[in-house]
Amino acid sequence: MNQESGAETTSSVAAAAHSPASRSAVAMTLHWLRDLLVSVVLAIIVILFLYQPVKVEGTSMMPSLVDQERIFINKFIYKFGLGDILRGDMVVFYYPGDPAKSYIKRVIGLPGDSVALEDGVVYVNGKRLEETYVPDQYRDRQSFPLVRLPPDHYYVLGDHRSSSNDSRTWGTVARQYIYGKAVFVYWPLEKMGLLR
């Protein structure tokens, strides 16, 4: 009698191990692991091929960006026509005087625009440009003659006008040199967020 009862217990344990409930738990775990793996692979692809981490060097974009901050740039928004280069964008480009170097500046003038600076105030197409991103203490008081931008050329300035080497000195940037848009600060953590 005890043996039969023991046999019944063993049989019921074996049956439970192969029950639909245990098979569905294993299947759910495998699906979850698969989804996690796909998510990790997609995140790596996005970071490596769509967004590039870069380190800011220098003070020319203060206070928007400071020296040694880490940011992500979107490398494909302009390349594949996913977005136009707009006035106010912070762009990363190969420096026209030495394409081995990369600069980050803010777009002020678009192709066909005329740009002039009078006592540190920027005028685009004859109208004063409102620049809330340039605090008064970062403005210089210099004047620069009017420049008319040829097709596919952009006028770029650093936000820290008295500490920036930009289009006022070396001219416009050809479209072919612009390879990314600064979009996100990820370090230091207290400054993490989208760039404007």
pLDDT at 17: 47
Q: Which residue ranges make up each domain of the chain?
A: 2-49, 56-194
24 an active-site residue? no
Q: What percent of the chain has pLDDT over 90?
A: 61
Residue 44 has pLDDT above 80, yes or no: no
Question: Which one of 64, 105, 164, 181 is the catalytic residue?
Answer: 105
Task: Tell me which of 3.90.190.20, 3.40.50.300, 3.40.50.720, 2.10.109.10 is the CATH number of domain 56-194.
Answer: 2.10.109.10
pTM for the predicted model, two decimal places: 0.76
Higher pLDDT: 49 or 79? It is 79
Q: Which DSSP string do the residues of the chain spell out, in sequence order?
A: -HHHHHHHHHHHHHHHHTSHHHHHHHHHHHHHHHHHHHHHHHHHHIIIIIEEEEE--SSTTTTTS-TT-EEEEESSTTTTTSS---TT-EEEEE-TT-TTSEEEEEEEE-TT-EEEEETTEEEETTEEPP-TTS-GGG-----EEEEEPPTTEEEEE-SSGGG--SHHHH--EEGGGEEEEEEEEEESGGG-EE--
pLDDT at 10: 46
pLDDT grade, residue 19 (50/70/90)?
low
Question: Which one of 11, 19, 22, 60 is the catalytic residue?
Answer: 60
181 an active-site residue? no
Per-residue pLDDT reduced to its tens digit, 149-173:
999 999 999 999 999 999 999 999 9
